[in-house]
Amino acid sequence: MTPRIAVVGGGMAGARFAERYGALGGPGTVTVYGAEPRAPYNRVLLADVLTGRYDAESIALPLGGAEARPGCEVMALDPAARTLALADGTVEPWDELVLATGSNPVLPPVRGLRRPDGPGLAEGVHTLRTLEDCGRLAEEAVTAKRAVVIGGGVLGVSAARALAALGVRTEIVHQGTHLIERQLDGEAAEVLRERLLALGVETYARNRARAVHGGDRADAVELANGYRLDCDLVVLACGTRPRTALAYGAGLPVGTGILVDDRLATAGPHVSAIGDCAEHRGTVHGLAGPAWEQADALARRLSGADPDARYTGSLQRARLSTGDLEYAAFGAVDETLDPGLDVLRIADATRGSYKKLVLRGTRLVGAILLGDLATVDALAGAFESKEPLGGHPLHLLTRGES
Ligand SMILES: Cc1cc2nc3c(=O)[nH]c(=O)nc-3n(C[C@H](O)[C@H](O)[C@H](O)COP(=O)(O)OP(=O)(O)OC[C@H]3O[C@@H](n4cnc5c(N)ncnc54)[C@H](O)[C@@H]3O)c2cc1C
């Protein structure tokens, strides 16, 4: 009998799995159940949809021969009976189940975020996770004059840059010491801050938002030091939390995410999990690259192309490319944490670029490129190969420069 593969979650991991499974000639039929009203799309490009650089259609993701079931939220799982239940009461059978439920935005402990009269966020307060969020934000940005983005990680920076490109004066309130501290060091973050400033985005690091004022409609954000930022829009960019309720309700072990082994299998027979919802070897990545690597490994295993396929983890690397603001970061970027590391650094204030290599002997263990990514492919290759570098490492920072 043809195996029936149900994928719960039509996001970046689910779509990638479906596409790869088809491309590898997997023998089963794949159905992708998605809670969102549209077929899978590339979420990483949402900020570019906000600026109008891409439209919703152009960021659609291929699904191979899989059937997409958008607008179909899976409400319950029965791993013993191998069925799932949809919101309309329909029960669907499966032989293999792939959980790819992603993550939800974290709502920070800030007073006044919610409507005073019921559930939901107050008018003018937004998250940016879906195309629907993006549509609502774009609509309000047309008339907005000032926005406050709470959170200065990669999402906050992307959102702020997009709002500034739409002509909205934008301020980032960030609790950490510097922007994107998971991926950038202090100097790179300073260059980024200046580049953002040139685009019309002010950053307040080491500052915490305490309250949103305005009642029904947000009109200001109050900081912990009492300072008040007037605004028409508030965007929450305070991280994400894996969506695990469905797995938990089905009795599958959940830590921060749904626990999986190197086969990306959960404790439930024939149930796997990939992407932002999965916790592998204690790590929930929350990034598109690892989500795709997990989807690829699982597709190899379930399609039969490589029944022993394993996922052993992802190299730490990140890339942001939105408009003319771009950076790439690999591995360990803070050499101060380990006295055995050496650093090679080039900062160019005029061009607004910053480049850094972190080396252990002749091996590259970390790098940052900001504002000039001419050598990014050579750098990525050197980082991934883990081999000793041939020649002077400077060529990884300056190739292609005049
Ligand atoms: C604006 C933005 C910018 C980003 N930029 C970057 C970046 O530059 N680099 C990077 O690496 N990462 C970036 N990310 C993160 C990246 O998008 C995620 O890591 C990636 O989308 C994870 O894929 P996923 O499939 O696990 O989750 P998602 O893409 O979130 O997909 C999960 C899907 O499952 C659906 N779902 C959940 N529960 C159910 C259910 N019960 N039934 C049916 N469907 C369900 C959800 O509705 C959702 O559509 C960004 C994210 C955002 C929002």
Which amino acid belongs to residue 132? Answer: E
Do the domain assignments include residue 309? Answer: no
* Res 66 pLDDT > 50: yes
Q: List phi, psi (to 5°) of 394.
A: -55, -30
Average pLDDT, the chain: 93
Contact 327, 161 (CB under 8 A): no
| Ligand 1 contacts CB of residue 364 (under 6 A) | no
* Res 316 pLDDT > 90: no
Q: What CATH number is given to the structural domain containing 383?
A: 3.30.390.30
pLDDT value of position 384: 85
**How many domains in the chain?**
3
Instruction: Give yes or no: residues 134 and 222 share one domain.
Output: yes
* Res 114 pLDDT > 70: yes
| Residue 196, domain extent | 125-236
| Ligand 1 contacts CB of residue 98 (under 6 A) | no
Which range of 42-56, 90-104, 186-200 scores highest in mean pLDDT? It is 90-104
* Res 144 pLDDT > 60: yes
Task: Look at the pTM and tell me if it is higher than 0.75.
Answer: yes
29-64: burial string, b at 16+ Cβ within 10 Å, e else: ebbbbbbbebbbbbbbbbbbbbbeebeeeebebebb
Q: Over pLDDT 70: what percentage of the chain?
A: 99
User: What sign does the CA torsion over 139, 141, 143, 147 have?
Assistant: positive
pLDDT value of position 17: 98
First to last CA, the chain: 62
Which amino acid belongs to residue 148? Answer: V
- For the sheet with 74-78, list strands across it: 74-78, 83-86, 91-93
Do the domain assignments include residue 116? Answer: no
Which residue from 46, 74, 101, 104 has its CB within 8 A of the most atoms of ligand 1, so it is best to mutate? 101
31 contact partners, CB below 8 Å, separation of at least 6: 4, 5, 6, 7, 66, 67, 69, 92
Give the rounded distance of the alpha carbon of 291 from its chain centre: 9
* Residue indicated by tokens 């023998």: 27
* Res 401 pLDDT > 60: no
Which residue from 43, 51, 90, 330 has its CB within 8 A of the most atoms of ligand 1, so it is best to mutate? 43
Average confidence (pLDDT) over 364-379: 89
Which amino acid belongs to residue 392? Answer: H
More confident residue, 221 or 350: 221
Out of 253, 279, 303, a domain closes at 303
Residue 399: pLDDT band by 50, 70, 90 thresholds?
Answer: low
Nearest atom in ligand 1 to 275's CA: 26
pLDDT value of position 400: 52
Out of 303, 332, 356, a domain closes at 303
Out of 202, 220, 236, a domain closes at 236
